[in-house]
Amino acid sequence: MSYEFPNAPTDFEWTASQRQQYNIENYAKLSEEDAALDAALINGAVEHELIGALDSVIELGVGGVMRGPAFMVPMVRRGGRLHVTDVSESNVIAAEEEMKRIHRGDLGIWTPHQEHMAKCHPAWRGAFGRTALIATFGQQHIRHLTEAMADGLSLSYVAESRDPTDGEEEMDPIDAWRRDIALVCRATRRIIHLRQTDESSGYRVGEEDIDAVSVTCEQTEAELETNGFKILASHTAPKSGHTRQKGDPHNFSGFSGILAERR
């Protein structure tokens, strides 16, 4: 699994056209791999009685992808808090604008995702709409996460996060990845939701090539367990054809996800 952290220190800022292109290419239709992953993680949440179990959830590195918050919102109790974040100010603004559109009843490309989630379990009916209703928005850097700041943390594509501005040019990528997983675990009181691509070294947004650390799902599970979490559900899509590497557009070969709970 590679973790591409949009929350990692970077001078890369998504443009509106890049966000639109990325979402249309990847989410305008629901892939079989994406659907299977949603089903597996929803089943895990239901099996472990997580519906309405969390007071607060933070979505990290949302980019332009609304699926993560919509997946988590049934686990937020009525009156609970869902905070949607990114390190990039423009991504936060774009996410808020996207949620305003959804709140008006226009799901756009998320329509098949919403329909599939609702088929998986009734608690996910109207998940995108409820997300739009309760979400707050703000910037959040992974390095600035504080201890036990939310019941649940949700994130996709955790990336290599060496930061030249922090004097870490020589930091080993795996060490940086472990450090960031530990920060996420420390910040979570109960549930972590991660999505990633198995053994991918990066991806492309528009004309920008993004680096990532190539790690496996098993490595990630082991790292979460090392940090005091147990795995509730895990799913990896079959590796069909070429697994995404740096410079490649997004694809779902080896697309994976984990739902984990603090012991």
CB atoms within 10 A of CB 178: 17
Structural domains in the chain, CATH included, are 2-262 (3.40.50.150)
The rounded radius of gyration (Å) of the Cα atoms in the chain is 17
Lowest mean pLDDT among 98-112, 113-127, 205-219, 243-257: 243-257
CB atoms within 10 A of CB 223: 19
* pLDDT digits 0-9 by tens, 88-109: 888 888 899 999 999 999 999 9
Do 215 and 180 contact (CB within 8 A), yes or no? no
CA 241-173-6 angle, to 5 degrees, is: 70
Instruction: Tell me what pLDDT residue 10 has.
Output: 46
Lowest mean pLDDT among 2-6, 143-147, 243-247: 2-6
Per mean pLDDT, which of 20-29, 115-124, 141-150, 215-224 is the most reliable? Answer: 115-124
DSSP reduced 3-state for 210: strand
Quote the percentage of the chain above a pLDDT of 70.
Answer: 78
Kind of pairing between the strands at 135-139 and 76-86: parallel
- Quick one: average pLDDT of 103-127? 96
* C-alpha dist (Å) from residue 263 to 56, 194, 221, 252: 18, 17, 14, 31
Run of H or E residues at 196: strand 188-197
* pLDDT digits 0-9 by tens, 141-173: 888 899 999 999 999 765 544 444 455 556 788
Do 154 and 72 contact (CB within 8 A), yes or no? yes
Which residues 6+ apart lie within 8 Å of 153 measured at CB? Answer: 57, 58, 60, 184, 187, 188, 191, 192, 193
- Quick one: average pLDDT of 197-219? 76
